[in-house]
Structure formats: C-alpha cells, structure tokens
C-alpha cells in the first residue's frame, strides 16, 4: 500500500497534465471550427444579392445591430483584456530564451530540421552531395540515442542522447529525393510534446505548439481510449456528475 500510494500520486499528476493538454487541444479545435463557420457564412453572404428589400422593422433592427457592432460590448472588451492577460501569463519566465516552434511543431537547426506530432517525429537532414546511397550512411537508432553520419567523415551530423525514448522496431529511415535523409521516430509516450530532439539542441517553447486537429478514428486503440475517457470525465464534471474514477469508487463502496 505504501508503494501503491507513492505511485498513485505520480499517476494522478500525469493524468491531470494529460487532461489539461487535451482540454487545451479541444479549445483550439473549437475556435478553429468557429472561424471556419464564420468564413463560410461570409462566403454565403457574398453570394447573396447586394440589394435587398426590407421592411421598416427590419431596417430599424439593422441600424441597431450596426450601432452595436461599432461600439464594442463590455464582454468583448473584457474578453480582449483576458486574452492579453492569458498571453502574458503564457510568457512564463521559465520559457525565456526558448525558441518558437516551426510550422511542424519542431525546430529548424543548421544541420537538420525536425517536426513532430503526438505520435512520432520526423528528422530531415540535407545530404552534402546528391547521389549518396544508404551504404554511404551510418544511421543508428537506439531507444534513447540517435546517430546519423556519412561514413568516413567526422564529425557526425547528429550523435547524441534523445530527449525521450522511442520505439526502435517502429522507427525507420530512408533517402528522400536522393538529397535528403529522412528519419522517422515513433514515440513511446504519445501524450507529450518534445521540447528538443537531442539533449544538446536548443529548447522550443512547447506552450506555443499548435497541433492540427485529428479525428478519434486516426488514433491508435490505447490513445483513443484515453482521449475518450478524458472527454467523458470532462462532460461529467460540467454536468456536476461523478467522473469514471469516482464512479468506480462509489461502485466499490456499494459492493
């Protein structure tokens, strides 16, 4: 029980962290959908005839709406202030000096470029000359170490400890377009963002990562189950009902 209680605290912290990341992700997806709906609505309005006959009542209503649009409401002002506060809060002193992630949520470095999703990482290394074959390269992918080099040339392009563990059997490499070495690394933990590829790289600010929305059907079974559980728990909390863990405890007490 002592060991159980010790690791239960860590597990609860891990679950809370994952839940917060999921909530943030859902919020961004919701905002993106709202923007898309607004753009679609504008397109539809643009297709409608420019001149439209309206009644006196409709004309008065339109005037009122225009006046409201010209004068921002208190809610809009407070929302803008809240957004600014949130941006200021996100600029944590601990994140000072960290690099903003590139379009692929990774980092562009002098010798290579890496991007990431929650499930894997792609490393693209430009080769010094075209026509190199796989036999001319040395690529060694270990659980927590990556080495990529051209044979008989020093130093290696990358030869360092990875920030987190990867699945060796699911990781691959190939020569792309005869001029780029493409390395794909499968993450062990599919619920965290890497702040760097190897420990000697500069850190990126993972709080500024903007992942693309994905469907539940695109996730593997284990990750999908975890996401569905978090979504269920979030809905239960919003309705003031017990979460799945709380329900289990209640059922055990009843038994």
Res 52: pLDDT = 58
pLDDT tens column, 201-228: 999 988 888 766 555 565 667 777 777 7
Measure the CA–CA gap between 255 and 153, rounded to whole angstroms: 68
The pTM of the whole model exceeds 0.85: no
Measure the CA–CA gap between 225 and 220, rounded to whole angstroms: 8
Q: Let me know whether 190 and 232 are in one domain.
A: no
The answer as to whether 55 is a domain residue is no
Q: Let me know whether 181 and 149 are in one domain.
A: yes
Closest CA to 208 of 105, 89, 130, 86: 105
Task: Tell me: cis bond preceding 155? Omega within 30 of 0 counts.
Answer: yes
Mean pLDDT throughout 138-154? 91
According to DSSP, residue 128 is labeled: S
Measure the CA–CA gap between 251 and 255, rounded to whole angstroms: 6
pLDDT tens column, 164-197: 999 999 999 999 888 899 999 999 988 888 999 9
Q: Let me know whether 127 and 187 are in one domain.
A: yes
The answer as to whether 93 is a domain residue is no
Query: Domain range for residue 234?
Result: 221-254
């Amino acid at each position: 029980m002592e060991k159980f209680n010790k690791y239960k605290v860590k597990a609860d912290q891990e679950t809370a962290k994952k839940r917060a990341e999921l909530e943030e992700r859902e919020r961004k997806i919701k905002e993106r959908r709202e923007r898309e709906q607004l753009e679609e609505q504008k397109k539809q309005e643009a297709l409608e005839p420019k001149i439209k006959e309206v009644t006196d009542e409709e004309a008065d209503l339109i005037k009122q709406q225009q006046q409201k649009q010209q004068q921002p409401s208190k809610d809009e002002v407070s929302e803008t202030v809240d957004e600014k506060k949130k941006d200021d809060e996100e600029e944590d002193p601990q994140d000072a000096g960290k690099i903003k992630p590139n379009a692929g949520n990774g980092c562009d470095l002098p010798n290579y470029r890496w991007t990431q999703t929650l499930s894997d990482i792609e490393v693209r290394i430009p080769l010094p000359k075209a026509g190199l074959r796989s036999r001319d390269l040395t690529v060694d992918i270990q659980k927590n170490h990556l080495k990529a080099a051209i044979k008989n040339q020093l130093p290696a392009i990358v030869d360092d400890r990875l920030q987190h563990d990867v699945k060796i059997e699911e990781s691959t490499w190939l020569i792309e377009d005869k001029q780029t070495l493409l390395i794909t690394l499968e993450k062990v933990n599919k619920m965290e963002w890497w702040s760097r590829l190897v420990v000697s790289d500069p850190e990126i600010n993972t709080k500024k990562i903007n992942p693309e929305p994905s469907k539940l059907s695109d996730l593997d079974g284990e990750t999908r189950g975890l996401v569905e559980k978090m979504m269920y728990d979030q809905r239960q909390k919003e309705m003031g009902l017990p979460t799945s863990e709380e329900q289990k405890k209640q059922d055990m007490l009843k038994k």
